[in-house]
């Protein structure tokens, strides 16, 4: 059975957090053979206006991916903007895409509902995402639950194009990272927009302060606690194996175990998971030329595929 090609991207809009890790990055590391993972700097332009911050964020995302286990020898890691074929492909897709499809995008409707006037780029966001996916003959897109719609819209656009011009685009499938969104410090979905994130590379006093700030109820130490309604336990369960989860559950239900104890256990298990990655991350940020070189190599590999797909689409439209 042939290896399926995976593709996904993350915006360089700030520190990557646990929601990014469990929703996407963990799957990216597990599926690297013939995979394409890009840093979505074009998408980030809808929110990031500081060019120096964008450059810094791009390198930070790349260093985080590499530190967590992305191997450039197995998968292509690259900047979205280093593959210009994608933006031309987006225009070809938009030529057969109805306004109604874009108007149904959750991100666009959410901005309007909150009284925010979205830009043209935000309105066309699903079309660029579709081009990102279709440009590499992608089979599988690992996503969080809130991103499933974008893959479905990509399939719609590809089917519309294929209906006009023949069998040009492969139809991708989605694969969920975590069944439910990762909770934030306040129990809501973890999101930079809500200011409730735990950065993957946080450490030391800063990490401990974040973990100690996780909201809990006010049950006293001696009283049994419900692990199924506790955000601290939800975090711990993401990192723990089955035996560790059951042991923690027993401590909750047995009483004489406080939320402070649970938070320290969470801190320990997070440090165990990310300790080696943090050392690699620090090395990469101290050697930016190494990071930039790996991104250029990834872009060269990605462009080779994208040029073939774009050429196929151009010929189908009559633009050859």
Q: How far apart are alpha carbons 82 and 38 in whole angstroms?
A: 10
The one catalytic residue among 4, 111, 170, 208? 111
189 is catalytic: yes
Which residues fall within 8 angstroms of residue 227, CB to CB, at 6 or more apart?
Answer: 233, 248, 249, 252, 253
Catalytic residue among 170, 189, 215, 219: 189
192 assigned to active site: yes
Residues in the chain: 320
Cα–Cα separations (whole angstroms), residue 14 to 56, 93, 127, 310: 9, 30, 23, 31
- What's the CA gap between 248 and 230, in Å, rounded? 12
Cβ neighbours of residue 165 closer than 8 Å, sequence gap 6 or more? 313, 316, 317
Residue 79 C-alpha from the chain's centroid: 14
- What is the set of active-site residues? 111, 189, 192
């Amino acid at each position: 059975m042939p290896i399926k090609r995976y593709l996904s991207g993350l915006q360089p809009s700030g520190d990557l957090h646990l929601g990014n890790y469990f929703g996407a990055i963990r799957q990216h590391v597990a599926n690297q053979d013939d995979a394409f993972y890009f840093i979505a700097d074009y998408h980030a332009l809808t929110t990031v206006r500081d060019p120096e911050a964008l450059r810094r964020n791009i390198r930070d995302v790349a260093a985080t991916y590499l530190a967590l286990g992305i191997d450039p020898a197995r998968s292509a890691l690259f900047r979205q903007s280093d593959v210009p074929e994608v933006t031309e492909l987006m225009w070809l897709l938009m030529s057969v895409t109805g306004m109604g499809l874009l108007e149904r995008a959750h991100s666009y409707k959410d901005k309007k509902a909150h009284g925010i006037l979205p830009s043209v780029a935000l309105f066309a966001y699903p079309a660029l995402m579709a081009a990102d996916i279709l440009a590499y003959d992608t089979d599988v897109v690992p996503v969080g639950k809130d991103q499933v719609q974008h893959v479905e819209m990509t399939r719609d656009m590809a089917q519309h194009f294929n209906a006009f011009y023949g069998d040009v685009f492969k139809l991708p499938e989605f694969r969920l990272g975590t069944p439910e969104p990762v909770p934030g410090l306040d129990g809501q979905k973890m999101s930079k927009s809500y200011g409730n994130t735990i950065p993957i590379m946080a450490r030391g006093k800063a990490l401990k302060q974040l973990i100690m700030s996780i909201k809990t109820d006010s049950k006293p130490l001696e009283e049994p606690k419900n692990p199924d309604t506790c955000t601290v336990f939800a975090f711990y369960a993401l990192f723990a194996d089955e035996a560790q989860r059951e042991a923690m559950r027993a401590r909750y239900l047995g009483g004489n175990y406080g939320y402070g104890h649970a938070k320290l256990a969470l801190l320990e298990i997070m440090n165990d998971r990310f300790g080696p990655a943090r050392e690699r991350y620090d090395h990469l940020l101290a050697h930016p030329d190494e990071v930039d070189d790996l991104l250029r190599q990834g872009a060269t590999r990605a462009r080779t595929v994208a040029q073939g797909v774009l050429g196929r689409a151009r010929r189908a439209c009559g633009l050859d």
